[in-house]
Amino acid sequence: MISGILFDLDGTLVDTWELYREAYRYVVQPYVRKTLTSEDIRGSKPTPEREFIKRCVPEKEREQAFRRFLTHYSNFHDSFFGGTYEGVEDMLDQLRNSGYPLGIVTGKSRAAWKITNQKCNLGNFDLVITDDDVDQYKPNLECLQTAINQMKMENTEILYVGDHSRDFEMARKAGTPFAAVLWSKFPEEQAEFRDELKEDEAIWFLEHPKELLQKLGI
């Protein structure tokens, strides 16, 4: 029985792809010889912000680069933030009204989370675990287990909802049920994601947020 729900954030609840693309482009551009394209950024498979910067920026300049990232992330937010996905806000409201404790487990930095949280209507969460709260990022189990411990429930009672194979890998390690978000993906990406997870019968594949409510009987 599902008693609590934890969500990934980017690509699950909010659309931040273009926002991250522009912020990363401005941070990394001084360290490469070519003009960075969207394909370059996507092909680099961005990870948590500090880890991405670590890949591209000399060690002595990383903290300054991270501060620049946050400045660009904030300045570009109104222009490039894609907002919450259709149906997400209603889903969260209904889950809260039904008494489910809700949390976020994200590779996002705490500072970037605060910027986005101030600019969208996701409501309050019982807990938020960011990249700053753990030593190891996804798919290491630390961030998800930290959230589970704070919820004070059994691992099997908590559903984790995410849009990436590393989210599934983390949930599998933790022994928590997993719901795979498809609503943020193009049809070809949906097919690839399903194939990547091998259509595991234990996974809930969700094409719209309302389907999570249906699965829970709300």
Looking at the structure, tell me whether residues 69 and 131 fall in a common domain: no
| The predicted structure's pLDDT at residue 136 | 82
Looking at the structure, tell me whether residues 131 and 210 fall in a common domain: yes
Write out pLDDT tens, residues 71-129: 999 999 999 999 999 999 999 999 999 999 999 999 999 999 999 999 898 999 999 99
Distant-in-sequence contacts of 191-197, Cβ < 8 A, 24+ apart: 193/163, 193/165, 196/165, 197/165, 197/168
Looking at the structure, tell me whether residues 61 and 88 fall in a common domain: no
Give the CATH number for residue 172.
3.40.50.1000
Model's pTM, two decimal places?
0.92
Looking at the structure, tell me whether residues 129 and 90 fall in a common domain: yes
